[in-house]
Amino acid sequence: MNSLRPLLPLIKKYPSQIGLNIIFNIISALFSVFSLLMLIPFLQVLFYKDISFLNNSQLPKIPFIDLLYNKWTFIVESQGQETALLVLCLVLVFSFVLKNGTRYLASYFLIFVRTGVMRDLREKVYQKLLALDFSFFQKNRRGHILTIFGNDIQQVEFGIINFIETGFKESVTIIITLISLILLSPYLTLWVFILLPVSALFIGRIGKRLKKDSNEVQNQFSIMQMMIDELMHGIRIIRSFNHMDILVKKFQSVNQKYRSLHHDLLKKKELASPLSETLGIMVVVILLLIGGRAILKGDSTLSPEVFITYIVAFSQIISPAKAFSSAWYHIQRGVASMDRIQSLLQTKSFHEIYPGEESIHTFKDSIEIKNLNFGFDDKNTILQNVEIHIQKGQKVAFVGLSGSGKTTLVNLISGIYQAPENGILMDGIDIRKYRSKDYSRLFAIVTQDPILFYGTIKENLLLANENTDEISIATALKLANAYNFVNRLPEKENTPIGERGQQLSIGQQQRLTLARAYLKNTPILILDEITASVDNISSKKIKDALQQISQEKTVITITHKLESIVDYDIIYLFDKGRIVAQGTHDVLVNTSLLYRQIYSTWNENDGE
> Can you tell me the distance from the alpha carbon of 581 to that of 591, in angstroms, rounded to the nearest whole number?
9
The continuous run of DSSP H or E covering 215 comes out as helix 186-241
170-to-103, 111, 589 alpha-carbon distances in Å: 11, 17, 81
The continuous run of DSSP H or E covering 295 comes out as helix 244-297
Tens digits of per-residue pLDDT, 322-380? 666 666 666 767 777 888 888 888 888 777 777 778 888 889 999 999 888 988 776 67
The per-residue b/e assignment along 357-384, b for 16 or more CB within 10 angstroms, e otherwise, is: eeebeebeebbbbeebebeeeeeeebbe
> Can you tell me the distance from the alpha carbon of 585 to that of 565, in angstroms, rounded to the nearest whole number?
7
Please determine, for residue 300, whether its predicted confidence score (pLDDT) is greater than 70: no
Question: Looking at residue 556, what is its pLDDT?
Answer: 92
Q: Report DSSP letters for 169-195, one per residue.
A: HHHHHHHHHHHHHHHH-HHHHHHHHHH
Tens digits of per-residue pLDDT, 522-545? 899 888 887 766 666 667 777 777
**What contacts 86, CB < 8 A, 6 or more positions away?**
none
The rounded Cα 124 to chain-centroid distance in angstroms is: 8
> Can you tell me the distance from the alpha carbon of 81 to that of 75, in angstroms, rounded to the nearest whole number?
8
**Who wins on pLDDT, 32 or 273?**
32
- Name which of 58, 104, 51 is nearest 77 in CA terms: 51
Q: What percent of the chain has pLDDT over 90?
A: 7
Please determine, for residue 18, whether its predicted confidence score (pLDDT) is greater than 50: yes
Please determine, for residue 91, whether its predicted confidence score (pLDDT) is greater than 50: yes
Question: Looking at residue 401, what is its pLDDT?
Answer: 85
For residue 526, the cross-strand partners are 445, 556
**What contacts 82, CB < 8 A, 6 or more positions away?**
none
Mean pLDDT score, 414-430: 88
> Can you tell me the distance from the alpha carbon of 523 to that of 63, in angstroms, rounded to the nearest whole number?
80
Q: Are 146 and 227 a contacting pair, CB within 8 Å?
A: no
SS (H, E, C) 346-358: HCCCHHHHCCCCE
Tens digits of per-residue pLDDT, 166-195? 767 777 777 877 887 777 777 777 777 777
**Who wins on pLDDT, 188 or 215?**
188
Label residue 443 exposed, middle or buried (CB < 10 Å: 0-12, 13-18, 19+).
Answer: buried
**Who wins on pLDDT, 89 or 113?**
113
Backbone phi, psi, residue 453, to 5°? -120, 160
Please determine, for residue 241, whether its predicted confidence score (pLDDT) is greater than 60: no
Q: Are 560 and 589 a contacting pair, CB within 8 Å?
A: no
According to DSSP H, which parts of 49-185 are helical? 63-79, 81-131, 134-139, 142-147, 153-156, 162-184
Q: How many CB atoms lie within 10 A of CB 529?
A: 17
Please determine, for residue 214, whether its predicted confidence score (pLDDT) is greater than 60: yes
Q: Report DSSP letters for 452-499, one per residue.
A: --SSBHHHHHTTT-TT--HHHHHHHHHHTT-HHHHHTSTTGGG-B--G
Highest-scoring range by mean pLDDT, 107-116, 399-408, 569-578, 598-607: 569-578
220-to-256, 261, 342 alpha-carbon distances in Å: 10, 8, 19
State the chain's mean pLDDT as an integer.
Answer: 77
Tell how strand 554-558 and strand 524-528 pair up.
parallel
Question: Looking at residue 424, what is its pLDDT?
Answer: 92
- Name which of 575, 567, 47 is nearest 303 in CA terms: 47
**What contacts 399, CB < 8 A, 6 or more positions away?**
406, 558, 559, 560, 562, 565, 571, 572, 573, 574, 595, 598
Question: Looking at residue 395, what is its pLDDT?
Answer: 92
Question: Looking at residue 65, what is its pLDDT?
Answer: 55
**Who wins on pLDDT, 172 or 582?**
582
The per-residue b/e assignment along 444-453, b for 16 or more CB within 10 angstroms, e otherwise, is: bbbbbebebe
Q: Which domains does the chain have, with CATH numbers?
A: 2-347 (1.20.1560.10), 366-604 (3.40.50.300)
Question: Looking at residue 280, what is its pLDDT?
Answer: 66
**What contacts 151, CB < 8 A, 6 or more positions away?**
218, 221, 337
Mean pLDDT score, 408-420: 88
Q: Are 549 and 514 a contacting pair, CB within 8 Å?
A: yes
Tens digits of per-residue pLDDT, 436-451? 888 888 988 888 778 8
Q: How many CB atoms lie within 10 A of CB 39?
A: 18
Among the ranges given (10-19, 26-35, 522-531), the one the predictor scored with the smallest mean pLDDT: 26-35
- Name which of 493, 500, 503, 511 is nearest 453 in CA terms: 500
- Name which of 63, 327, 29 is nearest 207 in CA terms: 327
What is the pTM for the complete model shown? 0.68
**DSSP summary character for residue 54:** G
Q: Are 421 and 394 a contacting pair, CB within 8 Å?
A: no
SS (H, E, C) 132-149: CCHHHHHHCCHHHHHHHH
Question: Looking at residue 533, what is its pLDDT?
Answer: 61
Mean pLDDT score, 563-586: 90
With bands split at pLDDT 50, 70 and 90, how would you rate the model's confidence at 53?
A: very low
**DSSP summary character for residue 242:** T
With bands split at pLDDT 50, 70 and 90, how would you rate the model's confidence at 210?
A: low
Please determine, for residue 90, whether its predicted confidence score (pLDDT) is greater than 50: yes
Question: Looking at residue 607, what is its pLDDT?
Answer: 42
Q: Are 426 and 434 a contacting pair, CB within 8 Å?
A: yes
> Can you tell me the distance from the alpha carbon of 375 to that of 592, in angstroms, rounded to the nearest whole number?
27
Question: Looking at residue 387, what is its pLDDT?
Answer: 92
Highest-scoring range by mean pLDDT, 42-56, 252-266, 516-530: 516-530
Q: Are 68 and 87 a contacting pair, CB within 8 Å?
A: no
Highest-scoring range by mean pLDDT, 12-16, 239-243, 396-400: 396-400
The continuous run of DSSP H or E covering 260 comes out as helix 244-297
Please determine, for residue 11, whether its predicted confidence score (pLDDT) is greater than 70: yes
For residue 324, the cross-strand partners are none
